[in-house]
Chains A and B, each alone.
Chain A
Amino acid sequence: MTRYLTTTALALSMIGGAAMAEPVKVGMITTLSGGGASLGIDTRDGFMLAVEEAGNPELEVVIEDDQQKPEIAVQLSDKMIQSEDVDVLTGIVWSNLAMAVVPGATRQGKFYLSTNAAPSQLAGKGCHENYFSVSYQNDNLHEAAGAYATNEGFGTMFIMAPNYPAGQDSLAGFKRFYEGEVASEVYTQLGQTDYAAEIAQIRDSGADGLFFFLPGGMGISFMKQWAEAGIDMPVVGPAFSFSQDILPAIGDAAIGVKNTAQWSKDIDNEANAHFVEAFEAKYDRLPSLYAAQGYDTARLLLAAMDKADISDADAFREALRAAEFDSVRGKFSFGPNQHPVQDIYVREVVSEDGTLTNKIVATAMEDRGDAYAEECKM
């Protein structure tokens, strides 16, 4: 476990006697070990960059590793709420861990700010006034891909995802905004690494384009095998398979692929330019989507702390809802179910001076909320 007190806080606490508002204690539960650790590490690094830049003495952050296991996440959240007495929880990368932790935490009066996972159950019927998603709603990036495919005039598409709830949601999201014909819809096995069979089917289908959602190691394997097969078909997917942290493992096989995301390092605004530069200077690598989301979440929290006191939950909630911070995404606001309303871009994987990264080539959707807001009765 790691605990971060900014140096100012340490100094002030030693001097003592300074009149302060209620301190805010944040419990970050994220994945720092195992195959999926790169997402959690980026989340933590982005979040802590913002925390250190602000140097707010009233903010304390406790960080724990959930090892991508739901039971451990639940225990950590119990520990943080019962022993550490945190006010806000954040950091979970995976939807299944979020589903285990969020309902219990919000019902115990704690705020949850999601730096990544935003499953549909928590956006619609399961929404709660203490739950905010700062990243997106899980379906958004897939919906944008569907919109992009329609705009590009792809008449038929081959779509593919693993057979688990996030995978099923992704294909549903894609189809929601894709107006062409689905040539074939294939569910792969979760954790599957050999896609020869699926690649053969894709080739045989003769579709105009391929959409796939294969997070983590699955996406790396698929793209390498795809490149070997030499099929000339445009590929589009959500940013999860092409984020900065895994591009190096895929290599040149990824060049030219289009992926949808609500953030890219080349979004043109001051906050983003500063973020990318500071991140690279401090951590010696380019930030990914997850780092940007972590950074924005911390900044949202700090902005709310400036406006209201955590001891007044209602006021703090209103301060969070107002979202008066400079997001690295540019414009950012919350919808009625406390999920973001934002633009979703299409990025292309390019090689910049030998480093693989993403570059924006189009805007897929503007001011997109999500499909579940109406089901939320807050």
Chain B
Amino acid sequence: MSMILLIEQLLNGIQSGLMLFLMAAGLTLVFGVMGLINLAHGSLYMVGAFACAGVAAATGSFWLGLAASIAAAAAAGAIVEVAVIRRLYARDHLDQVLATFALILIFSEGTRWLYGSFPLYLNVPAALSGSVTLPGGIQYSLFRLAIIGAGLAVAVGLFLLIGKTRIGVQVRAGEADREMIAGLGVDIGRLYTLVFALGAALAGLAGALVGTIQSVQVGMGEPVLILAFVVIVIGGIGSIKGALIGALLVGLTDTMGRVLLPPLFSLFMETSAATSIGAALASMAIYILMALVLIVRPGGLFGARA
């Protein structure tokens, strides 16, 4: 494989990882601060994608669609938090898993009821389409570069928010000791709703960005949800840094696995068996990675003491 191809694949892995980070960041925040497993996070991703497609089709502007996706997902998140999630904080994990599993059903079937079963149309805006030539002679899609940029911007923004602002202080204190900050006079209810809505907004943004280059259809959030859970488990629950590192690890493993394993196997096996087995192993690779990490560090890479 040529050096140019290798670098391009690395970029692909990073881009895929950063999209996962947008999903995982919200998930890990919600779990870290509120102690809640939220399976419906993938549905919020879907809401963002549908909102973007719907608004973009109605107004003709992708940028309005993007803004709508963030707003719609945040709003949906806030409503769900107040209506349902609030009652789950004191419950055990099983109840949280099942209640949010129920939310998935409600969101998915509800969306199908509203929009039908055919996939929706959402396309890259003219300003971001086509490819650019990077130093070194690599041709790379401009939109994917924009995604990498957006992901890095969000990462920086989150670090600043959590590290440097008052809200961030409350979030970090809440992760450390929930009862204490309530005792210190912080409005817990408002904080939780805010954190949940923030996580939802990030998921919605991811949905809109990814939906633009993939397809917008019911159930699109589920595979991403599983991957996001894998990411936060690898990274350590509650840690934004862990979510970033974990997401990049998963993105790179997935991309490089798909690219490198089949040729690796064909070194000592005939091609069609090699490609088949290599592809199979590549699809299992992320889960094998997660299992290995958990065996060595049961709390994840940057997790709080288990």
Q: How large is the interface on A (under 10, 10 to 19, 20 to 34, 35 or more residues)?
A: 35 or more
- Known contacts A34-B219, A197-B258, A221-B214: A228-B15 contact under CB 8 Å: no
Cβ of A153 < 8 Å from any Cβ of B? no
Alpha-carbon distance A198/B5, docked complex (angstroms): 11
Alpha-carbon distance A230/B140, docked complex (angstroms): 9
The 0/1 profile, CB within 8 Å of A marked 1, for residues 72-88 of chain B is 00000000000000000
Contacts of B255 in A (CB 8 A): 196-197
Alpha-carbon distance A180/B219, docked complex (angstroms): 40
What are 30 A-B contacts with C-beta separation under 8 Å?
A: A33-B117, A34-B117, A35-B219, A37-B117, A38-B118, A38-B119, A163-B279, A187-B279, A189-B283, A193-B215, A196-B141, A197-B255, A200-B9, A200-B12, A203-B139, A204-B1, A204-B2, A204-B4, A217-B119, A225-B141, A228-B143, A228-B213, A229-B131, A230-B139, A230-B141, A248-B118, A248-B121, A249-B215, A249-B216, A253-B123
Cβ of B194 < 8 Å from any Cβ of A? no
The 0/1 profile, CB within 8 Å of B marked 1, for residues 246-268 of chain A is 10110111000000000000000
Name which residue of chain A comes closest to B15, CB basis.
Answer: A196
* CB-contacts of A23-64 with B (<8 A): 32-35, 37-38, 41
Those 10 A-B pairs whose CB atoms lie nearest each other, nearest first: A37-B117, A196-B12, A221-B214, A220-B215, A187-B279, A249-B119, A163-B279, A193-B214, A228-B141, A200-B8
Residue contact A220 to B218, C-beta cutoff 8 Å: no
List B residues at the A interface (Cβ < 8 Å): 1-2, 4-5, 8-9, 12-13, 15-16, 112, 117-121, 123-124, 129-131, 139, 141-144, 210, 212-220, 223, 255, 258-259, 262, 271-272, 275-276, 278-280, 282-283
Contacts of B282 in A (CB 8 A): 189
Cβ of A185 < 8 Å from any Cβ of B? yes
B interface, by DSSP: helix, strand, loop or mixed?
helix
List A residues at the B interface (Cβ < 8 Å): 32-35, 37-38, 41, 163, 168, 185-189, 191, 193-194, 196-198, 200-201, 203-204, 217, 220-221, 224-225, 227-230, 245-246, 248-249, 251-253
Contacts of B4 in A (CB 8 A): 204
Contacts of A198 in B (CB 8 A): 258
Alpha-carbon distance A75/B120, docked complex (angstroms): 31
- Known contacts A163-B276, A200-B9, A201-B5: A186-B213 contact under CB 8 Å: no
Q: Which of A37, A187, A229 contacts B275 (CB 8 A)?
A: A187
Name which residue of chain B comes closest to A172, CB basis.
Answer: B272
Contacts of A186 in B (CB 8 A): 262, 275
Alpha-carbon distance A204/B4, docked complex (angstroms): 9
Alpha-carbon distance A204/B6, docked complex (angstroms): 10
Q: Which of A187, A188, A224, A252 contacts B213 (CB 8 A)?
A: A224
Alpha-carbon distance A24/B66, docked complex (angstroms): 53
- Known contacts A34-B218, A228-B131: A191-B5 contact under CB 8 Å: no
Residue contact B117 to A230, C-beta cutoff 8 Å: no
Contacts of A204 in B (CB 8 A): 1-2, 4-5
Residue contact B119 to A201, C-beta cutoff 8 Å: no
Interface centre among B112, B217, B218, B278 (most CB of A within 10 A): B217
Least CB distance from A172 to B in Å reads 9
Residue contact A251 to B123, C-beta cutoff 8 Å: yes
